[in-house]
Amino acid sequence: MNPQLLFWVPVALRLSLFLIAAAVVGYFFGPVAGLAAGLICLIVLIVVQLNYLFLLSGWLDHPESEKLPDGWGAWTDIFSRLYKLRRDDERNRADLSEWLARFRQAMSLLPDGVAIMDDVLFLEWCNPAAEKHLGLNNSRDKGMRVTNLIRNPDFIDYIILGRYDQPLTLSLRDRKLIVQIIPFENRRQILVTHDATESERIEMMRRDFIANASHELRTPLTVINGFLEIAQSQPDLDQSVRMSHLKLMIEQGERMQNLVEDMLTLTRLESIDYPVRAEHVNIHNLLEQILQEAKALSGGRHKISMLIDGPDIQGSNDELRSAFSNLVSNAVRYTPEGGSIEIAWKQTEAGVQFSVKDNGIGISAEHIARLTERFYRVDKSRSRETQGTGLGLAIVKHVLLRHDAGLTIESEPEKGSTFTVRFAAHRQTLA
């Protein structure tokens, strides 16, 4: 029905009821009494309305806390509609704050930083990643201008130029950040930050690796080319000189071959899925082979001993052979004539361990942490002299990573070194 009718019909009914009552009184007790009765009815009506108005105004002061009266006449409908409005409003508010909480939680889990600013770059809100990347504090810095908070000349230039369609790469607080400002709504802007430190590091490692590998390959190539040029320009060179040149060329060729093989091994190790296929590794056979190789490499110049007192393990035979023989051949190559080398396979409380101990040239402390980096060598010329590629320990590190094993290096210059590999207990096979 028409809402106007709905309101006015009861009002009219009530008024006519009063008029009839006044008319009845007037009919029986005379017109004065009738008028008086009508007046009293009117006054009662006005007082009732004023009372509800008073209640309504009281409720409007504290709509949250106070309960609405039930009302009378048209007021019943007004109050019930107000009550419904308030309930809807409460529900909307609860929905909104729940949604906001969910939005904030999602934002706080983002690995990328998000900061919301107004049109003149005053900070309104930022997530924890933005706090970390930009050194902000959401509660402390709210309402401050971001150019006062992020005092970086490149960032300030970016703001001044206002070319926000391009991201900016920023070095900030020891990190490489990719930063972009995105205007949204009419009067707001979002500052998005992405931490590119790790990808930058990997990219740099890749560049370094290529540069190092090219450099390592160029040196023997230069030597070989030099001798070939001599052979071409001086065909009647003395036979013994020629032989010595050939010997040097073969050495350099071998060096290149070792290098390429080690690079291929490293690439293979990196590209195969983790973890390795587990096969039974017969430690006795494996170490016996490695011992024979070490003796051949030493050519009787060292005293080499071996002790095997532990169970076999699960892993890749080929990879473990490559790792162990790298450690053993290093011991032989970095131990002067007359030195001794002890190879051991032992069961300890923490698990089974492989160790190679030598009393060779040793390594000073500042180098130890970097030894497993590719192409890292303490003494380049010595490593080359002994046919080293600088990749051996990088291969060891990769193999051990794939076998849940760790490498510890203890060493003292002039005294010698011990390289120890510890395997996690679950690698062990039951004897």
Ligand X SMILES: Nc1ncnc2c1ncn2[C@@H]1O[C@H](COP(=O)(O)OP(=O)(O)O)[C@@H](O)[C@H]1O
Q: Which of 266, 250, 254, 417 is nearest to 332 (CA)?
A: 417
What mask of x and - would describe binding to Mg ion in positions 384 to 403, judged by CB under 5 A? --------x-----------
Calpha distance 309→152 (Å, rounded): 61
* Dihedrals phi, psi of 279, to nearest 5 degrees: -125, 165
Choices 136-144, 216-224, 276-284, 328-336 (CB under 6 A): range interacting with ligand X: 328-336
Q: Which of 359, 362, 355, 361 is nearest to 306 (CA)?
A: 355
Q: Which does 363 bind (CB under 5 to 8 A by kind): Mg ion, ligand X, none?
A: ligand X
Choose, by CB under 5 A, the member of 252, 330, 359, 411 that binds Mg ion.
Answer: 330
377 binds ligand X (CB under 6 A): yes
Q: How many chain residues interact with ligand X (CB under 6 A)?
A: 23
Choices 44-52, 295-303, 310-318, 383-391 (CB under 6 A): range interacting with ligand X: 383-391
Quick one: 127 or 326, whose CB is closer to Mg ion?
326
360 binds ligand X (CB under 6 A): yes
389 binds ligand X (CB under 6 A): yes
Q: Largest Cα–Cα distance of the chain, in whole Å?
A: 159
Q: Which residues contact 176 (CB under 8 A, 6 or more apart)?
A: 169, 170, 195, 196, 197, 200
Task: Tell me the HSE value of 374 on the side-chain side, using a 13 A CA sphere.
Answer: 20
Q: Which does 351 bind (CB under 5 to 8 A by kind): ligand X, Mg ion, none?
A: none
CB of 388 to Mg ion, least distance (A): 5
| 112: exposed, middle or buried (Cβ count in 10 Å: 0-12, 13-18, 19+) | middle
Tokens 């019909």 belong to residue: 9
331 binds ligand X (CB under 6 A): yes
360 binds Mg ion (CB under 5 A): no
Q: Is 347:429 a contact under the CB 8 Å cutoff?
A: no
Q: Which does 332 bind (CB under 5 to 8 A by kind): ligand X, Mg ion, none?
A: none
Choices 91-99, 167-175, 249-257, 386-394 (CB under 6 A): range interacting with ligand X: 386-394
113 binds ligand X (CB under 6 A): no
Quick one: 297 or 405, whose CB is closer to Mg ion?
297
Choices 62-70, 186-194, 293-301, 371-379 (CB under 6 A): range interacting with ligand X: 371-379
261 binds ligand X (CB under 6 A): no
Site residues, Mg ion (CB under 5 A):
330, 392
